[in-house]
Amino acid sequence: MKEKLWAGRFSLETDKLVDEFNASISFDKRLYKHDIRGSIAHATVLKEAGILTEREAKKIISGLKEVEKEIDAGKLAFTTGMEDIHMAVEGRLTEKIGALGGKLHTGRSRNDQVALDIRLYLKDEIYGIIALLHDLKAAVVEVAEKNFDCIMPGYTHLQRAQPVLLAHHLLAYYEMFKRDTARLFDSLERTDSMPLGAGALAGSPYDLNRGLTAKLLGFKDVTENSLDSVADRDFIIEFLSAASIIMMHLSRLSEELILWSSQEFGFVELSDAFSTGSSIMPQKKNPDVAELSRGKTGRVYGNLFALLTTMKALPLAYNKDMQEDKEPLFDTIDTLKITLKVYGPMLKTMRVKKENMLKATSAGFLNATDVADYLTKRGLPFREAHHAAGQAVAYCINRGITFDDLDLSEWKGFSKLFGPDIKDAIAIEKSINTRKIYGGTAFATVKKRLQAVMAEVKKGCC
Ligand code: ARG
């Protein structure tokens, strides 16, 4: 086996098991483009500092670009012996351009290099995820608009509570995804700092222009403290938290879609293209996409907790424990991206069963609050009005009838304040339209919000 790049002080070869245990190449190879981008910027800064000649820098940079092409083409076989992507790239560069390749690592350590690579990589991925979230928001808005006239029961405690518009219900998810986008942008703020120059921990002894490295790589600023630069993984944890919250939102929507597509609810039917069958029960059509989105939420939470636990009580500065940051990060990114990608099309192709949703609002006394409000508006204190409405509910339940079946004299039995206009006052559409308060479910209010969010979506994501 070829000698390791750090083998100078060692007299024994590394045990094979240690090689296997220590290596991160099998997963950090996905950072190769960012590693090479970082190295090209570093070579440029080394040249500016007079550490590399113009010719040397050029040779290193074109060598790095060739290595990138080889990896793009799948021509570089990654082996455990390469240890990690940083060693793999530098090793291959040195094979290609000779001893000069060894000058690239001047003034740099893998500790600041890996911090740089992950930041570069994560920035790219966050922008991609923001774009996917945007598509999902657009899908939510499209379904809300298409079914604008659809009335459904709103729930608390999963008990029918008050009628709402389906569009209002869906736009609640829009608000969640909008906050998710803001959280991702916010996490970008702290990801967007350039750590190179920290060296192993104490700062590079060379006069490297860190501002130039940041500029070349498109970072907004440089990190302030060399120890923190190599020890900080907060930005990953913040991203994993934001990702967990996105998945939490998706799991809530999934849970509703799973319920709604059950025969018990019958509110929606997912497209055949976004459902699966059973290997034994021929009649089954299962909402697997929603179920898996709900299920994968657990794994994304797990990744957040894995890294929080890895980082707990780690002394400054870099510790090899931190190599364990990558797999949870990569897994979360992969999981989140595929979930976001499949979700919008599933929503857009689902059939909303408007009649069933409306029918469900007619049983369960969803307008009982409106009965109480009717009395309140006629001067009765709300608590007394609530009691009278409750008695009307009990009266109907005992007789197996609904409010619609009550005549005026029966209404008057609960309160003298009831008049002939009670029927109209508690009609479902009326119930909805009285809630025209900002943020409420009235048709006009929701229409306004829908128009506003449609304009937001049209503006694009970033
Ligand atoms: N593969 C390592 C990681 O992911 C790179 C940094 C290694 N640094 C070191 N001093 N061994 O964390």
Residues with CB under 6 A from ligand 1: 24, 28, 84, 110-111, 114, 318, 320, 322-323
**Structural domains present in the chain:** 7-106 (1.10.275.10), 111-208+218-359 (1.20.200.10), 368-426 (1.10.40.30)
Give the C-alpha separation, 109 to 111, whole Å: 5
| Tokens standing for residue 65 | 């670009």
Could you say which of 278, 293, 415, 431 is catalytic? Answer: 278
CA of 115 to the centre of ligand 1 (A): 9
CB neighbour list of residue 444: distance below 8 Å, 6 or more residues apart = 433, 436
pTM: 0.95
Rounded CA separation 118/120 (Å): 5
User: Residue 425 has which token pair?
Assistant: 């006052």
Q: Give yes or no: 42 in active site.
A: no
Euclidean distance between CA atoms 213 and 107, whole angstroms: 13
Taking CA atoms only, the protein residue closest to ligand 1 atom 4 is: 323
Per-residue pLDDT of the chain (462 residues; tens, 9 = 90+): 467 888 888 889 999 999 999 999 999 999 999 999 999 999 999 999 999 999 999 999 999 999 999 999 999 999 999 999 999 999 999 999 999 999 999 999 999 999 999 999 999 999 999 999 999 999 999 999 999 999 999 999 999 999 999 999 999 999 999 999 999 999 999 999 999 999 999 999 999 999 999 999 999 999 999 999 999 999 999 999 999 999 999 999 999 999 999 999 999 999 999 998 878 788 878 999 999 999 999 999 999 999 999 999 999 999 999 999 999 999 999 999 999 999 999 999 999 999 999 999 988 899 999 999 999 999 999 999 999 999 999 999 999 999 999 999 999 999 999 999 999 999 999 999 999 999 999 999 999 999 999 999 999 876
- The protein residue with its alpha carbon nearest to ligand 1, atom 7, reads 110
Which residues neighbour 38 within 8 Å (Cβ) at sequence distance 6 or greater? 113, 116, 117, 120, 196, 217
pLDDT digits 0-9 by tens, 197-221? 999 999 999 999 999 999 999 999 9
Q: Which atom of ligand 1 is nearest to the CA of 85?
A: 1
For residue 114, the CA-to-ligand 1 centroid distance in Å is 7
Q: Which helix (H) or strand (E) holds 153?
A: strand 151-156
Cα–Cα dist 302/311, whole Å: 14
Query: Are 231 and 141 spatial neighbours (Cβ–Cβ below 8 Å)?
Result: no
Q: Which pLDDT score is estimated for 462?
A: 64
User: Is 157 a known active-site residue?
Assistant: yes
Q: What is the pLDDT of residue 277?
A: 84
